[in-house]
Structures are given as structure tokens and as C-alpha cells.
Amino acid sequence: MNALYLLAVCIVALAVVGWPRRGLMARWRQSQELARRSRREDALKHILKSEANGRVATLDSLAGALQITTGSAARLLEELEEHNLLGFDGGRLRLKPPGREMGLHIVRAHRLWESYLAEQTGISEGEWHPRAEKQEHLLTPQQTAELAARLGHPTRDPHGDAIPEEDGSLEGDAGRSLNSVEPDTPVLITHIEDEPETVYSQLVAQGLRPGMRAFIIEKSPTRIRFWADGNEHILAPVLAENVSIRLLPEFRTADLVEEEFLSGLQPGGRARVVGLSAACRGQERRRLLDLGFVPGTLVEVDMVSPAGDPTAYRVRGAVVALRREQASLIRVSSREAATA
């Protein structure tokens, strides 16, 4: 009996390990193949993005982007060449049509998935990029096309990056950096670079988003102090280099300073909603609109929590609690409320 039991256990164990397509060995091989394919696709993405931004991808830049050794990067390039995805022209890396198509698909899938996370889920902003980094390798071209249709074919992702068409080309990073403008120059933040992740997390922690109006107050070799949508921020120049902007010649710095946001309303204060910041999007935007924060609505500070955050606001006969970061996305006018 014991021998039969032991034999049955051995048979089950062998089945679990060696079962075709479902066994542990088959799954391990599948995971290894996915890892190798993901590494190839990440390399193609790096080369494509470098090309779009007028840079030449090199062995060192590839190793740095993928966080691998130069030896591993060299073997990866050989693998891409063997798969007819990459060639060399005068010593420079050149994508072949299949490699360009694959790299474009990965960028498109990544940016569409980030748009999905921003617009359709409540997942925090800091999680969009790392989740999209994984999902981009799992979406097929057909699934990517279906996702684009579901989202209404967006042209830009939540960070301001252009989403390429399925058979199009990759647009380079637009605009100049916040680091490049002089003090007292009104600008609009158009893009927050999401790589490397350590830099992006610091920008997210500052609450910076595309759509914010800003201007530099003071510049020095060690820091940049600037105004953005009602709040003062400080960044190291290396971080400010990852914030892209465009000039706003129709605005004066005084116009930006005089802008009022719900977060600045004092206890007992009243204001009328002017609109939501362009930096407010997706579920967050829909929720605020559903709560009644639409242009023309009168809002009053009802109560402030002992810790100072959140704050309860009376809007359209209801009391709504908002965190400061949410209230800072609502533009208001206390002057209009005073004349009501």
C-alpha cells in the first residue's frame, strides 16, 4: 500500500513539473522566453526613442537604459541583429523595418496603458509607469488597437507624451525644459518625464503635472524655485531638466500669482468656481464635476479638520471633504463670490 501511495505521489509530482504547457518546467520556460523578449523590446524602444529625439543610441546608452553591463548589452545587440531587427550603418545602430514596427508598438502600448490607468482606474499616479512597463510586453497589436478605441483614441498620455499611431512614427520629446527659461517667464508645463523612475517619483511627490501654469521665481546652480498653479516648489536643476514647458506670452507672472485655488480659501471664506485645472484629469476630474465643482458654482469652507487636511466644503447644499491636493486643482474667484 505504501509503495502504491509513493508511486502515485511520484506520478503526480512528475505531472506537476513536466506537464506540457501547464507544468512548472513549461511555465518556467515561458517566463524565461518572456523575459528575453521583453529585454529585446526594451532595447528596441530605447533605440527608437533615441532616434526620435535626435540622439544616437550607443552600447553604453543601451546598457544604462536597461541597467545591464556593456557585455550583456553587446550580446543583446547581436541577438537583435540575428532576429533581423537591427543593423549597423557606418558603425551606428539602425532599426530595420520589423524592429522599428516592434519598438513603435511597445511605445504605443505603454502610453495607451498609462492613459487607461489614469482615466479608467483609481490607481495612484506613481504606479502608472511601472505597471505600464510590464503590460506593454503583454498587449498584442490587436489588443492595443482595441484599447485605443475604448479610450477614444487619445493623442497624448498622462505625462504629455505623444501616443504614436499604429502605422505612424514616434514624435520626439516636445518643448524645452523648465531649467532653460529665465525667471518671471510664464510657462505651461507640457510634459513630465517618467524615466528614470527615481526622478519621476520625486516630481510626482511635488504634485507636478502637465497642464500647470508656472514661472521661475529664482534660479541658482543648486536649486530652482518656481510657482505652479498656486503653490511654490523647489527643484534641483537636474530634476527641472525633466519638466518640459512651452511659453505663455499671453500671460504675465502677476496673472499667475493672482489666480485663486480652492485650497487657498480660508475658514468661512466663499468663492465661485472658475474651472478645473488642466492638470486634473480622468476619474479625479469626473468625480469633482459630479460633486458639483462646475464653473459658476458657489463654494464655502464649512470646516477644517484639526490636522488641517482634509477640508469640508459646502457646495450646492451638500458638504464635501477634499484633500488639499484635490482642492488645489479647482480654480476659484473670491471676487465673483463677493458680488453675488
Give the mean pLDDT of 164-178: 82
* pLDDT at residue number 24: 61
Residues 267 and 333 in one domain: yes
For the packed helices 197-205 and 125-135, what is the interaxial angle rounded to 10 degrees?
150
Mean pLDDT across 267-285: 86
Q: In CATH, what number is assigned to the domain containing residue 79? A: 1.10.10.10
pLDDT tens-digit profile of 52-88? Answer: 888 888 888 888 888 889 999 999 999 999 999 998 8
Please give the tally of structural domains in the chain.
3
Task: With a cut of 90, say whether residue 113 has pLDDT above it.
Answer: yes
Residue 240 domain boundaries: 176-256
User: What's the pLDDT tens digit per position in 291-307?
Assistant: 999 999 999 998 888 87
For residues 167 and 319, the model is more confident at 319
250 and 268 share a domain?
Answer: no
Question: What's 23's DSSP letter?
Answer: S
Does residue 267 sit in the same domain as residue 330? yes
Distance between CA 156 and CA 45 in Å, rounded? 18
Same-domain check for residues 7 and 83: yes
239 & 317 share domain: no
Q: Is the link from the previous residue into 295 a cis peptide, with omega within 30 of 0?
A: no
**Do 182 and 240 belong together in one domain?**
yes
CA-based nearest residue to 189, from 255, 240, 246: 246
For the question of whether the overall pTM of this predicted structure is more than 0.85, the answer is no
Q: Is residue 129 part of a domain?
A: no
pLDDT over threshold 80, residue 282: no
pLDDT band at 11 (very low <50, low <70, confident <90, very high): low
Residue 146 lies in a domain: no
Exposed/middle/buried for 285, CB within 10 Å: 0-12, 13-18, 19+?
A: middle
Give the integer Cα–Cα distance in Å for 109 and 178: 28
Task: Identify the domain boundary among 60, 95, 130.
Answer: 95
CATH of residue 310: 2.30.30.90
Clarify whether residues 271 and 230 are in a common domain: no
Q: Is it true that the peptide bond before 97 is cis, omega within 30 degrees of 0? A: no
Q: What is the pLDDT of residue 17?
A: 54
- The CA-atom distances, in angstroms, between 59 and each of 76, 86, 122, 213, 247 are 10, 13, 39, 39, 36
CA nearest to 42, candidates 91, 17, 79: 79
Average pLDDT over residues 7-18: 60
Q: What is the structure's pLDDT at 272?
A: 92
pLDDT for residue 339 is more than 70: no
CA 164 to chain centre: 15
